[in-house]
Amino acid sequence: MRSDGQGVQALAGIKVLDLSRVLAGPWCTQILGDFGADILKVEPPGSGDDTRTWGPPNLPGEDGQDGVGESAYYLSCNRNKRSAVINLATQEGADLIRRLAAHADVVVENFKAGGLKKYGLAYEDLKRVNPRLVYCSITGFGQSGPNSDRPGYDFIAQAMGGMMSVTGEKDGPPTKPGVAMADLSTGMYAAVSILVALRHAERTGEGQHIDCSLFDTQITMLANQGLSYLVSGASPGRMGNTHPAVVPYQVFDASDGPVVVAVGNNTQFVALCSALGMDGFAQDARFLTNRLRVINREALVDALGDVIRKRTVAELVSTLSGRNVPCGPVNTVAQAFSEPMIAARGTVHHFVREDGVRIPSVSYPGALSRTPSRFSRMPPRLGEHTIEVLEDWLGIGRDEVEALMRSGAVTDRGTA
């Protein structure tokens, strides 16, 4: 299991004030939390993080009522955190955030550009109380530029950033991937940027502002497709499940379902032809190199398709894998989680709530030999740790907590 490591975790002692919600920011802070950072998730009064109600599916409520607990969406990106309800719109709430920031190593926020300035919680404000602070802002379009004042969701970034134009069937409509790749990628880049900035702060005592945007990340994540345009001047289009620069590298129809064959070099191509009884194609002048296979794509794919459709998926996977040809079935999500590798690699972790409800979580994918990820806290209920974290981070006594509650600045779980 990935969470079995002993000893001090790599990010133990790092305090993260998480003012983000939805996906990109929470995905970032969950990564930091998996390695021991103390994540304080600050949520607004009322329903808290928007994604708490983005269902179904939802967990059962604590009263046993079906589908009224936290949503699967929220659960996917909020483990290893504590939740406090703090109302930034009150003077007392904003003052409390400044006090917490003075003790934090990192702030992560995804308000609109300049959105925290009116509360006195922008980077320049918090830098004055904590010069070592690493302050990461995640927005749709960044802190500068002509679109900086616009709100942005993953869908908008994928559309404007070119991803949808290269996703989908050739003659079909622009299509987004089935998960929020702009959000998830931005969360990962934000986590990497924070670790870089923490290293700098460790050496120099100097914090900094990190400006991450969904649009910038989506442009970066075009990767080879983006460079293809910059090199050629031609905008790539949709190619369905084929690859623009590698052949054969696509979905084929076997006799009982789809199968992916991905041949990345000449050795693999020769092995593919041998496994399928098509040795003559390996010596065919049209297919000797990948460049020639791309040029003669249609003839090769048609011939392969005729042979592949006569065999089952299981037969093809067994035969091709035995020859070191990359291949695999096109699984449903249920089938993917049934793959033997899931149990062998400890990919799924289960928390158990006090009432016995099992809460699944998908593990951090990197298995570090000395400082592995751990799953210490289930995704928190709204305001579950308000009093606890104020006492822990600030040493606030019960009298002051009660005064803050009376002012409307904070809410604990009992009154959330």
pLDDT digits (tens, 9 = 90+) for 379-414: 999 999 999 999 999 999 888 989 999 999 999 876
Tokens encoding 336: 């993917």
Q: H/E element holding 40? A: strand 38-43
- Whether residue 349 is predicted with pLDDT greater than 90 in this model: the reply is yes
pLDDT tens digits, one per residue of 91-115: 999 999 999 999 999 999 999 999 9
The letter for the amino acid at 4 is D
The letter for the amino acid at 365 is P
Q: What are the DSSP E strand ranges found in 115-270? A: 134-139, 208-213, 249-254, 257-262
- Whether residue 85 is predicted with pLDDT greater than 80 in this model: the reply is yes
For the chain, the residue count is: 416
The DSSP call for residue 142 is -
Helix segments in 13-165, DSSP class H: 24-34, 72-75, 91-103, 123-129, 154-160
In this predicted structure, what is the pLDDT of residue 56? 93
- Whether residue 5 is predicted with pLDDT greater than 60 in this model: the reply is no
Is residue 131 classed as helix, strand or coil in its secondary structure? coil
Tokens encoding 164: 């949808």
- Report how far residue 209's alpha carbon sits from residue 21's, in angstroms, rounded to the nearest whole number: 19
How far lies 365's CA from each of 78, 233, 322, 383, in Å? 16, 37, 26, 29
Torsion-angle region of residue 67: left (phi > 0), alpha (psi -120 to 50) or beta? left
- Report how far residue 53's alpha carbon sits from residue 414's, in angstroms, rounded to the nearest whole number: 19
Report the pLDDT averaged over residues 225-253: 96
Shortest CA distance to 108 belongs to which of 20, 215, 197? Answer: 20
In this predicted structure, what is the pLDDT of residue 1? 43
pLDDT tens digits, one per residue of 199-215: 999 999 999 999 999 99
Provide the b/e sequence for 365-390 (b: ≥16 CB within 10 Å).
eeeeeeebbbbebbbbbbbbbbbebb
- Report how far residue 278's alpha carbon sits from residue 272's, in angstroms, rounded to the nearest whole number: 8
- pTM greater than 0.85 (yes/no): yes
Domains in the chain with CATH codes: 15-222+346-411 (3.40.50.10540), 249-334 (3.30.1540.10)
- Whether residue 64 is predicted with pLDDT greater than 80 in this model: the reply is no
Shortest CA distance to 119 belongs to which of 151, 97, 141? Answer: 97
Tokens encoding 146: 């002509």
- Whether residue 262 is predicted with pLDDT greater than 60 in this model: the reply is yes
Tokens encoding 338: 């049934």
- Report how far residue 136's alpha carbon sits from residue 134's, in angstroms, rounded to the nearest whole number: 6
Pairing between strand 257-262 and 249-254?
antiparallel
Task: For residue 84, give every residue at least 6 positions away whose Cβ sits within 8 Å of its Cβ, in sequence order, or none.
Answer: 40, 41, 42, 43, 383, 385, 386, 389, 390, 410
In this predicted structure, what is the pLDDT of residue 310? 97
The rounded percent of the chain whose pLDDT value lies above 70 is 97
Residues carrying an active site annotation: 183
Tokens encoding 122: 């922008």
Helices and strands (DSSP H and E) totals, the chain: 17, 12
Q: H/E element holding 273? A: helix 266-275
pLDDT tens digits, one per residue of 295-347: 999 999 999 999 999 999 999 999 999 999 999 999 999 999 999 999 999 99
Shortest CA distance to 378 belongs to which of 362, 365, 359? Answer: 359
